[in-house]
């Protein structure tokens, strides 16, 4: 979707006009038909509520929509404004209208607030229609442009920043939405190489021979049943001071997860194309950071594998040696994400000696049982890091909830014949997965693990996304970097 700026409605040349209104405060200058129609329809201006009507102006019929932004003093004001913009797009995306003018002139919104409305409109407009060849006219996306009219001074600059974030979220959604025959380790790398051209980002790729030399037996064990080679993708944005150590984000990138020999039930297995949602979030966030020229040194690393069953696949009971030298008894080949992450985490610590490492992964079904599709879970060995991530989640809308780490859980993954098992008992499954990862974190490194299993895909539309890929994680990382690394 294109966003264009104009000084007047005449310049926008759109027959569909929208105004953003506060709850319980309808503007005094509304046409009579609109004001009375809104009252009769019980339109109160609640967040995301939309009313539309028609009125005549200068001999033309104008389609006027009112969208509610809630109460100005309520907490979560920016999120409410995003929802307002998104509600307009949701209503008119397939309406037959090609353009929507949002009249900011009398809205009282400052530049950041107006940009939030535009961001919500842009995010809600994303759909992945690449493979849809037959759609009825009423299903086809028609809305192409939003005209921002009379916005406060500086809104265009604020939008440039927000647009970079939108592009990052859209890239995450694209990677997650693509089927596994299109996005697999090599093509994931190629898609990123293409998208990051001209951004100032440096990309490095480790192939299987390089990883084997480094001793990444855990990661390589996951992919050995696939004809697709595994990859380790490294995306570097060094926009900060040369003397500053980079902050690391590591994403689980299982481009398809059958469960391996511990085969998943067939019902719903097609959803496992999004088991690379952590890697998708990291890649999208890196695009956003590069796009807005973040003043920070950030490295994103994606462990990319495909977990398939064949005659060469690893078996339950196999023992693999990780890059750290620790040995792992593979009890369940469907607990593969932690095997990928442990080697990726070891590599980034040895390569960059970072102070802070955050990993994101669609790691456990137990997290969905605990939190549903409302929050991701966060585990951390550092209270300040956890608090900063929780705050970033609240500010960005990519919400998190903290879970415990404790020695009492750690013993649940001890193995009688190796250093550890890759799964514990039925209980506390998300916690034991985090305890497993913590065994690969070196002393002095501040680390957090975000289990985002319930967040990267939605079976029904949300406020700023449609059904399907949500883009979760990209904004979380961007906000964390803004507030805790750049700030």
Q: What is the CATH number of the domain that holds 377?
A: 3.40.630.10
What is the C-alpha to C-alpha distance for residues 409 and 114, in angstroms, rounded to an integer?
A: 47
Q: Are residues 351 and 482 in the same domain?
A: yes
Question: 123 in a domain, yes or no?
Answer: yes
Of the candidates 155, 393, 400, 188, the one whose C-alpha atom is nearest the C-alpha of residue 284 is 188
Question: 471 in a domain, yes or no?
Answer: yes
Query: Position of tokens 């264009």?
Result: 4
Residue ending a domain, choose from 109, 126, 153: 153
Can you give the pLDDT of all 487 residues of the chain as single tens digits? 999 999 998 888 889 999 999 999 999 999 999 999 999 999 999 999 999 999 988 888 889 999 999 998 888 899 999 999 999 999 999 999 999 999 999 899 999 999 999 999 999 999 999 999 999 989 999 999 999 999 999 999 999 999 999 999 999 999 999 999 999 999 999 999 999 999 999 999 999 999 999 999 999 999 999 999 999 999 999 999 999 999 999 999 999 999 999 999 999 999 999 999 999 999 999 999 999 999 999 999 999 999 999 999 999 999 999 999 999 999 999 999 999 999 999 999 999 999 999 999 999 999 999 999 999 999 999 999 999 999 999 999 999 999 999 999 999 999 999 999 999 999 999 999 999 999 999 999 999 999 999 999 999 999 999 999 999 999 999 999 999 999 6
Asked whether 188 and 302 are in contact (CB, 8 A), the reply is yes
Asked whether 84 and 66 are in contact (CB, 8 A), the reply is no
| pLDDT score of 10 | 86
Helix, strand, coil: what percent of the chain each, to 5? 40, 20, 40
Strand bridging mode 50-57 / 60-68? antiparallel
Residue ending a domain, choose from 153, 185, 209: 153
pTM above 0.95, yes or no: yes
Question: 302 in a domain, yes or no?
Answer: yes
HEC string for 47-108: CCCEEEEEEEECCEEEEEEEEECCCCCCCCHHHHHHHHHHHHHHHHCCCCCCEEEEECCCCC
| pLDDT score of 106 | 86
Q: Are residues 392 and 413 in the same domain?
A: yes
DSSP alpha helices (H): ranges in 397-466?
Answer: 407-410, 429-438
Q: Are residues 83 and 213 in the same domain?
A: no
Q: Are residues 178 and 299 in the same domain?
A: yes
Q: Are residues 143 and 207 in the same domain?
A: no
Q: Are residues 89 and 208 in the same domain?
A: no
Q: Is the dihedral of CA 43, 44, 46, 52 positive or negative?
A: positive
| pLDDT score of 11 | 85
Question: 47 in a domain, yes or no?
Answer: yes
Cα separation values, 138 from 124, 126, 147, 252, 438, Å: 17, 17, 23, 38, 51
| pLDDT score of 60 | 85
Contacts of 8 (CB under 8 A, 6+ apart): 149, 150
Cα separation values, 139 from 12, 134, 277, 466, Å: 26, 10, 27, 13
Strand, coil or helix: what is 198?
coil
CA 392 to chain centroid, in Å, comes to: 13
Residue ending a domain, choose from 153, 175, 199: 153
Cα separation values, 429 from 373, 386, 412, 462, 479, Å: 17, 20, 10, 28, 29
Asked whether 472 and 368 are in contact (CB, 8 A), the reply is no
Q: What six digits make up the tokens of 181?
A: 């025959």
Strand, coil or helix: what is 174?
helix
Burial label for 145, CB within 10 Å (0-12, 13-18, 19+), is middle
Q: Are residues 117 and 228 in the same domain?
A: no
Question: 224 in a domain, yes or no?
Answer: yes
Of the candidates 395, 392, 428, the one whose C-alpha atom is nearest the C-alpha of residue 409 is 428
The CATH code of the domain that includes 99 is 3.40.220.10
Residues in the chain, overall count: 487
Contacts of 160 (CB under 8 A, 6+ apart): 292
Q: Are residues 15 and 68 in the same domain?
A: yes
Give 211-237 as a DSSP string.
Answer: HHHHT-HHHHHHHTTSSSPPEEEEEEE
Strand bridging mode 297-307 / 319-321? unpaired
Q: Compute how many other C-beta atoms are within 10 angstroms of the C-beta atom of residue 232.
A: 27
Paired strand residues for 447? 357
| pLDDT score of 145 | 97
What is the C-alpha to C-alpha distance for residues 69 and 387, in angstroms, rounded to an integer?
A: 28
What is the C-alpha to C-alpha distance for residues 166 and 117, in angstroms, rounded to an integer?
A: 12
Number of domains in the chain: 2
Look up the domain containing 303 and give its range.
164-486
Strand, coil or helix: what is 148?
strand
What is the C-alpha to C-alpha distance for residues 134 and 381, in angstroms, rounded to an integer?
A: 51
Strand, coil or helix: what is 264?
coil
Question: 158 in a domain, yes or no?
Answer: no
Q: Are residues 149 and 168 in the same domain?
A: no
Helix axes 111-124, 155-177, angle to 10 degrees: 20
What is the C-alpha to C-alpha distance for residues 39 and 416, in angstroms, rounded to an integer?
A: 71
Q: Alpha-carbon Rg of the chain, whole angstroms?
A: 24
CA 69 to chain centroid, in Å, comes to: 24
Q: Are residues 68 and 92 in the same domain?
A: yes
Asked whether 451 and 393 are in contact (CB, 8 A), the reply is no
What is the C-alpha to C-alpha distance for residues 144 and 161, in angstroms, rounded to an integer?
A: 20
Question: 159 in a domain, yes or no?
Answer: no
Q: Are residues 86 and 182 in the same domain?
A: no
Q: Are residues 335 and 425 in the same domain?
A: yes
In which order are the strands placed within the sheet that holds 327-329?
A: 319-321, 327-329, 420-421
Catalytic residues: 264, 338
Question: 220 in a domain, yes or no?
Answer: yes
Asked whether 402 and 379 are in contact (CB, 8 A), the reply is yes
């Amino acid at each position: 979707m294109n966003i264009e700026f104009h000084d007047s409605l005449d310049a926008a040349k759109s027959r569909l006009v929208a105004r953003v209104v506060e709850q319980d405060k309808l503007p005094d200058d509304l046409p009579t038909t609109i004001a009375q129609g809104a009252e009769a329809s019980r339109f109160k201006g609640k967040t995301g509520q939309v009313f539309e009507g028609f009125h005549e102006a200068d001999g033309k019929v104008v389609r006027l929509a009112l969208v509610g932004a809630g109460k100005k003093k309520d907490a979560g004001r920016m999120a409410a404004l995003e929802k307002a913009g998104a509600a307009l797009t949701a209503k008119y995306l397939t309406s037959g209208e090609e353009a929507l003018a949002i009249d900011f002139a009398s809205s009282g919104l400052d530049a950041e607030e107006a940009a939030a409305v535009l961001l919500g409109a842009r995010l809600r407009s994303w759909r992945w229609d690449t493979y849809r060849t037959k759609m009825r006219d009423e299903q086809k996306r028609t809305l192409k442009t939003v005209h921002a009219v009379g916005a406060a001074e500086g809104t265009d600059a604020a939008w440039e920043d927000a647009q970079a974030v939108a592009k990052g979220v859209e890239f995450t959604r694209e990677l997650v939405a693509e089927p596994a025959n299109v996005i697999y380790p090599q093509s994931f790398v190629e898609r990123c190489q293409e998208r990051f051209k001209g951004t100032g980002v440096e990309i490095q790729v480790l192939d299987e021979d390089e990883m084997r030399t480094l001793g990444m037996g855990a990661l390589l064990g996951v992919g050995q049943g696939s004809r697709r080679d595994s990859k380790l993708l490294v995306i570097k944005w060094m926009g900060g001071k040369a003397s500053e150590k980079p902050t690391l984000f590591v994403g689980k990138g299982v481009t398809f997860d059958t469960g391996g020999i511990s085969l998943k039930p067939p019902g719903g297995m097609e959803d496992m194309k999004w088991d690379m949602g952590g890697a998708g979030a990291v890649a999208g966030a890196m695009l956003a950071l590069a796009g807005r020229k973040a003043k920070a040194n950030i490295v994103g690393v994606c462990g990319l594998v495909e977990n398939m069953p064949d005659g060469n696949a690893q078996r339950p009971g196999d023992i693999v040696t990780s890059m750290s030298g620790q040995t792992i008894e593979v009890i369940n080949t469907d607990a593969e994400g932690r095997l990928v992450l442990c080697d990726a985490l070891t590599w980034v610590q040895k390569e960059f000696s970072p102070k802070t490492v955050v990993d994101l992964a669609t790691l456990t079904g137990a997290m969905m049982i605990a939190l549903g599709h409302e929050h991701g879970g966060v585990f951390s060995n550092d209270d300040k890091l956890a608090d900063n991530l929780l705050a970033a989640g609240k500010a960005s809308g990519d919400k998190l909830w903290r879970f415990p780490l404790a020695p009492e859980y750690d013993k649940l993954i001890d193995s009688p014949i190796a250093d550890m098992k890759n799964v514990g008992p039925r209980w506390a499954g998300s916690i034991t997965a985090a305890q497993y990862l913590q065994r690969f974190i070196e002393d002095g490194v501040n680390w957090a693990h975000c289990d985002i299993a319930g967040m990267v895909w939605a079976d029904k539309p949300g406020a700023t996304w449609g059904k399907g890929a949500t883009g979760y994680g990209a904004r979380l990382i961007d906000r964390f970097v803004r507030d805790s690394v750049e700030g």
